Amino acid sequence: MRQKIRFEKNSKNNVLTVLESSEVDPGIVMPLHEEDYALDQMVKASSEGMRPFIRLLRRRTFFPTSDLCAKLYEETLDFFKTEDVANITIEYDDVESFPGEEEFFLEDEDVELDKILEEDGTTVEDEMKEIDVDDDTISFTPEDISEHEN
């Protein structure tokens, strides 16, 4: 899943807003979550190192994975040091969490559902009628006194 994490500074109000959005379908990005932090605390935590930054960033409602936290820390180091940059967007694909794994792509030629369904041959009406030759209906007569009424 591809994610975009946007950090926005509001120096006047001492607020850092973190906006998380995700690609739900190819080309369709949907906002997921918004979290506000004290800007001065985040700047201080970022300058102290990755652990204090992660400790402050993670909350009950926003809890990014360790890999994502590390990327957010590394990508925002300069962002927190300079005051003239108002926002930054970090893109993250969770495929990055699995080094050495290839990204899966489904090509149109790989799987054709119609071909899979037609592998048994052609299905004609006569073949379907042959299956239903025997009458499966349940018959019950009032004289039947067995325990199982079939």
Q: CA-to-CA distance for 79 and 83, rounded, in angstroms?
A: 8
Given this model, what pLDDT does residue 130 score?
A: 57
Sign of the alpha-carbon torsion through 39, 50, 73, 56: negative
Instruction: Indicate the domain borders of the chain.
Output: 2-97
Instruction: List residues bridging with 38 in a β-sheet.
Output: 15
Amino acid 29 reads V
pLDDT, one tens digit for every residue, the chain (150 residues): 789 999 999 999 999 999 999 998 888 889 999 999 999 999 999 999 999 999 999 999 999 999 999 999 999 999 999 988 999 999 998 776 676 666 666 665 555 666 666 655 555 655 555 555 566 666 666 665 666 655
Are 7 and 91 in contact by the 8 Å Cβ rule? The answer is: no
Are 74 and 49 in contact by the 8 Å Cβ rule? The answer is: no
Is the pTM here over 0.85, yes or no?
Answer: no
